[in-house]
Amino acid sequence: MRSFKTSTMLAAGLTKDRTTIQNELQKIGQTKSLLEEMRVASKSKKAEPILTVEEKASQNNKAEIKGTGFQMKMVSSEKGAVMIEAQRDSRRQRHIVCLKESEKFVDQFYDNFSEKKSEIKDKIKIFLERSDVEIEESMSGLTDEMMLANEIGYVNGIWEKVNHNRSQR
């Protein structure tokens, strides 16, 4: 029973794989035929005529006008001219609004920057005052009397070590 299920599942899987392979081979065959058609078409392509600079510029301008959807009828008619002018005014107004918003952003940024700058200056002043206090406390421990006492203690400690070493010999 178990081997029957296994063999049927194997057969189904192989059939599925065979159909996918056949489909892919058909796609490959179609692309090969399309490539061959393109080769034949490229070989039979006619040479383009040699154009003057003005003719090339004219073709480029026509292509740009065609690509932008600009129609000469719009400019020549009154309704089209009014519509184009309204679009220009609308664009100008949007640009003005955008400029005002960007100026507002720059002003806010500058204000925030100025506030942060003053906060940082205040924090630096506080830090310097506190560090000055700590430095003064450290320096107060370095008076002539304290330094002399430290040197005497150091010398006495060394003298005791020397005496200890002499007594051990």
Mean pLDDT, range 96-120, rounded to an integer: 90
* Residues shown for the chain: 169
The number of distinct structural domains making up the chain is 2
- Does residue 93 sit in the same domain as residue 143? yes
Banded pLDDT at 6 (limits 50, 70, 90)? confident
- Does residue 81 sit in the same domain as residue 156? yes
- Does residue 81 sit in the same domain as residue 32? no
Give me 165's structure tokens: 């070493």
Task: Render pLDDT for 121-165 as a digit per residue (tens, 0 to 9).
Answer: 999 999 999 998 888 888 887 788 888 888 999 999 999 999 999
Would you tell me how many other CB atoms lie within 10 Å of the CB of residue 80?
14
Mean pLDDT, range 97-107, rounded to an integer: 92
The residue range of the domain holding 90 is: 76-162
Task: Render pLDDT for 61-74 as a digit per residue (tens, 0 to 9).
Answer: 666 665 555 555 55
Query: pTM for this one?
Result: 0.32
71 assigned to some structural domain: no
- Does residue 103 sit in the same domain as residue 150? yes
